[in-house]
Amino acid sequence: MKDTQTIYAPLTPSGGSVSLYRLSGPQALLAIQQMTGKSTFKGRYSYKVTLMDTEGALIDPCALVVFYPAPNSYTGEDVAEISLHAGKSVNDHFCACLHQNGLRLAEPGEFSRRAVLKGKMTLEEALGVRYLIESQTQQQYRAALAQMTGQTTGVVHEDLDFVREQLLLLLRDAEASLEFPDEDDISSDLENALSEKIEELIVIVKQYQDFYQKKEMLRSGIPVILVGPPNVGKSSLLNALAREECALVSDIPGTTRDVVQVLVNWGGYAVRLIDTAGVRETADPLEAMGIQRTRDQEKLARITLLMLDQETLDQEEILRAQCHSPNVVLVLTKADVFPYDQHKETVCVSSQSREGLRELESCVQKILEEEFSSSVEKADSGDVIKGALDRAFIALNAAFEEKRLEIRVQILYDVFDTLASMVHDVDQEEVLDRIFSGFCIGK
SS3 assignment for the chain: CHHHCCEEEECCCCCCCEEEEEEECCCHHHHHHHHHCCCCCCCCCEEEEEEECCCCCEEEEEEEEEEECCCCCCCCCCEEEEEEECCHHHHHHHHHHHHHCCCEECCCCHHHHHHHHCCCCCHHHHHHHHHHHHCCCHHHHHHHHHHHCCCCCCCHHHHHHHHHHHHHHHHHHHHHHHHCCCCCCCCCCHHHHHHHHHHHHHHHHHHHHHHHHHHHHHHHCEEEEEECCCCCCHHHHHHHHHCCCCCCCCCCCCCCCCCEEEEEEECCEEEEEEECCCCCCCCCHHHHHHHHHHHHHHHHCCEEEEEECCCCHHHHHHHHHCCCCCEEEEEECCCCCCCCCCCCCEEECCCCCCCCHHHHHHHHHHHHHHHHHHHHCCCCCHHHHHHHHHHHHHHHHHHHHCCCHHHHHHHHHHHHHHHHHHHCCCCHHHHHHHHHCCCCCCC
Q: What is the pLDDT of residue 380?
A: 58
What pLDDT was estimated at residue 236? 87
pLDDT at 81: 97
pLDDT at 75: 95
Domains parsed from the chain with CATH numbers: 2-106 (3.30.1360.120), 156-218+381-436 (1.20.120.430), 221-376 (3.40.50.300)
pLDDT confidence of residue 30: 96
- Return the pLDDT at 47: 97
pLDDT for residue 188: 56
Mean pLDDT by 10 residues, the chain (443 residues): 83 91 96 95 96 95 96 96 94 95 93 91 81 85 80 58 76 68 55 80 83 80 90 86 72 66 87 84 75 84 91 88 91 84 78 89 90 66 70 88 82 79 50 61 67
pTM: predicted TM-score of the whole model, two decimal places: 0.62
